[in-house]
Amino acid sequence: MNQLEQLKQYTTVVADTGDFESMRAFAPRDATTNPSLILKAVKKDEYKPLLEKAVHDNRWNQHEIMDHLLVAFGAEILKIVPGRVSTEVDAGLSFDTQATIDKGRALIDLYSRARIPRERILIKIASTWEGIRAAEVLEREGIRCNMTLLFSLPQAIACAEANVRLISPFVGRIYDWYKKAEGTEFTGANDPGVQSVRSIYDYYSYFGYKTEVMGASFRNTSQIIELAGCDLLTISPDLLKKLTESDEPVTRKLTREATQEQASPPPRTSEKDFRFQLNASAMATEKLAEGIRLFCADTHTLNQMIEETRSAM
């Protein structure tokens, strides 16, 4: 078996892309999207009809076009993958709890109108304090959430305490920060991004948290192989391809069953402690802020494309 086939024995493989053909080629169970991936997709001719239809059908209510476009992509993806798709809330709402709740409900409503059950949708929200509080409310309403832009254990702990369905710790962006800060190429188990996910996974296992851990934002296949056994891994098409081109052995590195006897969780994290602990990590603080800025920039560009398409009609 190639490495991708071996990996699927231990971990649920998720496609980190908005490209339908890549999903068909690598047969993941789930798929994740974000503004950057949707922007990349709609620049291709084969996906422009989705943009044009979303604009045409909602041209008199331009504020809803983006939501309809995201759901249109999600609906098409769910025709390909058997599991779930993650649809992201506007990163510009990352510090507004109520607006994030409202947007999550609106996206689920659009999927419902398309006759797609909410069990197949993950609403993707930035792992700010406000975002986590919004996810807690949505989860109580049966709307499952995927917490993104997660770079630290304090963020992961707060998400688990809020009973969110899934978190996406960013391996590659953590690696990028430490590589730049220390001028070192990290490999294997020494990779700080890999170590971050392992620490979160072990913490969840020790205290019996049910929140799923999905490693994300990979830079190379070594990072992926080091996390074999993680609940899920969301992987870009180029790295999925590289995994199919190698038959080097893949062994399980993470398992919840091999941990110590589960202990009672510590007291729930307060807002003050969350903010202080997050602030204590320069890496997590910087990468969270940068991630929000980059997603906002791509959302702005996507909105410009929407407006240009609307004006041309």
Q: Give the pLDDT confidence score for residue 261 in this predicted structure.
A: 65
pLDDT in tens, 121-169: 999 999 999 999 999 999 999 999 999 999 999 999 999 999 999 999 9
Considering 8, 103, 124, 287, which one is annotated as catalytic? 124
Number of domains in the chain: 1
121: buried, middle or exposed (CB in 10 Å: 19+, 13-18, 0-12)? buried
Whether residue 11 has pLDDT greater than 60: yes
124 is catalytic: yes
27: buried, middle or exposed (CB in 10 Å: 19+, 13-18, 0-12)? middle
- Host domain of residue 244: 3-311
Please report, as a single letter, which amino acid is at residue 183. G
Average pLDDT on 26-38 reads: 94
Q: How sure is the predictor about 59, in pLDDT bands with cuts at 50, 70 and 90?
A: confident
pLDDT in tens, 176-205: 999 999 999 999 999 999 999 999 999 999
Instruction: Mean pLDDT check: name the lowest of 15-19, 58-62, 258-262, 303-307.
Output: 258-262
DSSP H or E segment with residue 134? helix 129-140
Find residue 14's DSSP bridge partners: 30, 234
- Which CATH number fits the domain that encloses residue 14? 3.20.20.70
Q: Give the pLDDT confidence score for residue 260 in this predicted structure.
A: 56
pLDDT in tens, 104-120: 999 999 999 999 999 99
Which residue's entry shows tokens 């709890």? 97
246: buried, middle or exposed (CB in 10 Å: 19+, 13-18, 0-12)? middle
Whether residue 257 has pLDDT greater than 80: no
DSSP state of 268: P
**Is there a contact between 123 and 91 (Cβ–Cβ < 8 Å)?**
no
Whole-model pTM? Answer: 0.95
Whether residue 256 has pLDDT greater than 70: yes
